């Protein structure tokens, strides 16, 4: 059984996916970490010096960066087992705090818009899913990575609800500058993820959409588990 969970930034995909996987004894991969890992490495290598959008990386002057990012993607792996995967690029492991940094969120949609990067990462994701019961969370799992997944979920919530949740998780007050900047960053990232021509953020036609604004995490988990059990019958 493969469970695909897609949705916009901070819609709860990884919290839900992790808990669903624990409950069912499945492995869980948060596929956003793969895109974040490549972006982190590229920033650290000095490849992005100015704000860079998907439109920039599509241009001729970024041809070399596109090719270098694709090479990085080919060296990228998710190593581990069950629910704990570490992102490794050419033997270099990245920690979660390195992947969650704000600069990564600024550049990651541009990196994720490159078709050849996505092609290379698709193999890593399918490899994890091929090893038995699995839950994969991302943007294009139900549409592109695992189009024949048995159970597809699209988690949705308003940008305001998502930004508030994330601000509280990080210990910021609602209405604070940090909260405002989280909201602005979510909105910008979603817009780029939805607009890109390759594997845009969209619900698969056969996905069950769950609006999470008014739901507790445990309720969302139970709905996903119930859907997985229903399709397994
Ligand atoms: O889920 P997370 O916020 O960590 O994803 C970071 C970024 O990686 C997204 O904004 C998106 O650009 C990209 N991504 C993607 N496809 C996926 C997972 C993430 O394009 N399956």
What would the mean pLDDT of 113-122 be, rounded to a whole number? 97
Categorize the per-residue pLDDT at 84 as very low, low, confident or very high, splitting at 50, 70 and 90.
confident
- What residue spans define the domains of the chain? 1-26+133-221, 27-131
Does residue 117 have a pLDDT over 80?
Answer: yes
Which CATH superfamily includes the segment(s) 1-26+133-221? P-loop containing nucleotide triphosphate hydrolases (3.40.50.300)
The C-alpha atoms of residue 169 and residue 20 are separated, in whole angstroms, by 20
Query: What mean pLDDT do residues 187-203 have?
Result: 93
Quick check: CB of 118 below 6 Å from ligand 1? no
Question: Which range among 71-85, 122-136, 150-164 shows the weakest confidence by mean pLDDT?
Answer: 71-85
Calculate the CA 66 to chain-centre distance.
20
Q: Which pLDDT band holds residue 233 (cuts at 50, 70, 90)?
A: confident
Contact between residue 211 and residue 7 where contact means Cβ atoms under 8 Å apart = no
Residue 173 pLDDT greater than 90, yes or no: yes
Query: Residue 9 CA to chain centroid, in angstroms?
Result: 8
The reported pLDDT for the residue numbered 50 is 85
* CB-ligand 1 contact for 108 (6 Å cutoff): yes
Taking the model in full, what pTM does it have?
0.95
Q: How far is the CA of 22 from the centre of ligand 1 (A)?
A: 22
**pLDDT over 80 at 83, yes or no:** no
Q: What angle do CA 142, 190, 217 make, to 5 degrees?
A: 65
pLDDT band of residue 20 (cuts 50, 70, 90) is very high
Q: Counting atoms of ligand 1 from 1, which one is nearest the CA of 13?
A: 1
107 Cβ below 6 A of ligand 1: no
Distance 46 CA to ligand 1 centre (A): 21
- The CATH number for 27-131, chosen from 3.40.50.300, 2.40.50.100, 2.102.10.10, 3.30.9.10, is 3.40.50.300
Q: Is 138 in the pocket of ligand 1 (CB under 6 A)?
A: yes
If you average pLDDT over residues 187-208, what whole number do you get?
94
Spatial separation of the C-alpha atoms in residues 26 and 4, rounded to whole Å: 12
Rounded to whole angstroms, the Cα distance separating 175 from 88 reads 37
Say yes or no: CB of residue 112 within 6 Å of ligand 1. yes
Domains 1-26+133-221 and 27-131 share a fold: yes
Nearest atom in ligand 1 to 140's CA: 21
The residue to mutate among 138, 162, 185, 200, having the most atoms of ligand 1 within 8 angstroms of its beta carbon, is: 138
C-beta of 32 in contact with ligand 1 (< 6 A):
yes
């Amino acid at each position: 059984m493969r469970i695909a969970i897609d949705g916009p930034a901070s819609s709860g995909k990884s919290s839900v996916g992790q808990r669903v996987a624990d409950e069912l004894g499945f492995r869980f991969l948060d596929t956003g970490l793969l895109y974040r890992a490549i972006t982190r490495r590229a920033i650290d290598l000095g490849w992005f010096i100015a704000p860079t959008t998907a439109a920039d990386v599509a241009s001729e002057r970024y041809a070399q960066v596109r090719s270098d990012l694709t090479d990085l993607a080919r060296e990228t792996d998710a190593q581990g087992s069950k629910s704990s995967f570490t992102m490794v690029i050419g033997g270099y492991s990245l920690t979660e705090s390195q992947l969650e940094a704000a600069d990564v969120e600024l550049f990651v949609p541009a990196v994720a818009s490159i078709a050849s990067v996505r092609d290379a990462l698709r193999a890593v994701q399918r490899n994890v899913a091929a090893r038995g019961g699995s839950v994969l969370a991302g943007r294009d799992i139900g549409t592109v990575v695992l189009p024949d997944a048995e159970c597809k979920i699209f988690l949705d919530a308003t940008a305001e609800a998502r930004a508030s949740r994330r601000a509280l998780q990080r210990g910021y007050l609602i209405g604070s500058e940090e909260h405002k900047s989280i909201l602005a960053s979510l909105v910008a990232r979603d817009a780029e993820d939805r607009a890109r021509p390759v594997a845009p953020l969209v619900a698969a036609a056969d996905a069950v959409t769950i609006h999470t604004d008014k739901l507790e995490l445990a309720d969302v988990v139970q709905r996903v588990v119930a859907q997985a059990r229903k399709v397994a019958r």
